[in-house]
């Protein structure tokens, strides 16, 4: 499998040294966690003894951050800031 992976990378003009089977394991773990699979289930599938090892794959990717930066909440940007109510004690002092 590794030889096939490196051959595909070479044909694509990519550096075959950057492609290894662990990359596929990492991608599988990250994507299954991001799609909502339970951490304990992924831990079992990956064969990790420690939950901490599996939780390393929960770190959001850069593409997730980029998509979140583009999110707009309807009505939030259009709304005027709420008027601050002055407590009665402050309003009497200003007179």
What per-residue confidence (pLDDT) applies to 58?
A: 81
**Is the residue at 84 inside a domain?**
no
DSSP 52: H
The pLDDT score that the predictor gives to residue 68 is: 72
Alpha carbon distance, N-terminus to C-terminus of the chain: 82
Q: Is the pLDDT assigned to residue 26 strictly greater than 70?
A: yes
Residue 64 has pLDDT above 60, yes or no: yes
Dist. CA 45–CA 76, nearest whole Å: 42
**Residue 31 belongs to a domain:** yes
Does a structural domain hold residue 79? no
Distance from C-alpha of 16 to C-alpha of 66, rounded to nearest angstrom: 28
Q: What is the residue range of 41's domain?
A: 21-60
39-63: pLDDT as tens digits: 999 999 999 999 888 888 887 666 6
Task: Check pLDDT > 90 for residue 84.
Answer: no
């Amino acid at each position: 499998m590794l030889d096939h992976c490196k051959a595909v990378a070479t044909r694509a003009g990519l550096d075959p040294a950057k492609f290894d089977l662990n990359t596929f394991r990492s991608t599988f773990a990250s994507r299954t966690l991001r799609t909502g699979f339970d951490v304990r289930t992924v831990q079992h599938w990956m064969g990790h003894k420690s939950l901490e090892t599996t939780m390393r794959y929960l770190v959001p990717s850069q593409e997730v951050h980029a998509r979140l930066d583009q999110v707009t909440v309807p009505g939030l940007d259009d709304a005027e800031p709420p008027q601050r109510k002055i407590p009665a004690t402050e309003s009497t002092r200003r007179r």
